[in-house]
């Protein structure tokens, strides 16, 4: 398993190159990029030597940025409720300032899988 230490977009390019260089039998079935830009770079690097995405290797990103749906091979991505998360965080901060002794809140936001052509789903 390849793991990269952060969300730097250049690491997506490096991961794509490393996977493309492997013999087909040694490639993973799928790759999850830490964000959409990494995943887009992975797809681009796999496509350069003609690795079939998603036939040989499926690719998924995280964030569902606008660009993810408009590239040559639209990227499957996990969409998070960014506006709702930001609004809730701001409200929690205001609440904390007004009532600093109240217990901390925990909120759960359900992500949404946006299936596109970089996966077989």
Domain 9-81, CATH among 3.40.50.2020, 3.30.70.2190, 3.40.50.2300, 1.10.10.350: 3.40.50.2300
Nearest to 21 by CA among 48, 41, 58, 40: 48
Residues forming a β-bridge with 79? 112
CA 27 to chain centre: 19
Per-residue pLDDT, 48: 85
Which runs of consecutive H residues, i.e. helices, occur in 1-121? 9-21, 36-47, 82-98
Domain boundaries, the chain: 9-81
SS3 25: helix
Give residue-wise pLDDT tens across range 14-70.
Answer: 999 999 999 999 999 999 999 999 999 999 999 888 899 999 999 999 999 999 999
Quote the pTM value.
0.84
SS3 114: strand
Give residue-wise pLDDT tens across range 64-106.
Answer: 999 999 998 899 999 999 999 999 999 999 999 999 999 988 9
């Amino acid at each position: 398993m390849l793991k990269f230490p952060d969300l730097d977009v250049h690491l997506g390019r490096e991961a794509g190159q490393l996977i493309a260089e492997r013999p087909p039998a040694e490639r993973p079935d799928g790759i999850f990029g830490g964000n959409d830009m990494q995943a887009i770079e992975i797809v681009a690097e796999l496509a350069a030597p003609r690795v079939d995405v998603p036939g040989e290797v499926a690719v998924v990103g995280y964030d569902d940025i606008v660009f993810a749906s408009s590239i040559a091979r639209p990227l499957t991505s996990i969409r998070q409720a960014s506006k709702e998360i930001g609004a809730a965080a701001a409200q929690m901060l205001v609440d904390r300032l007004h009532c600093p002794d109240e217990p901390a809140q925990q909120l759960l936001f359900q992500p949404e899988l946006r299936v596109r052509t970089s996966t077989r789903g």
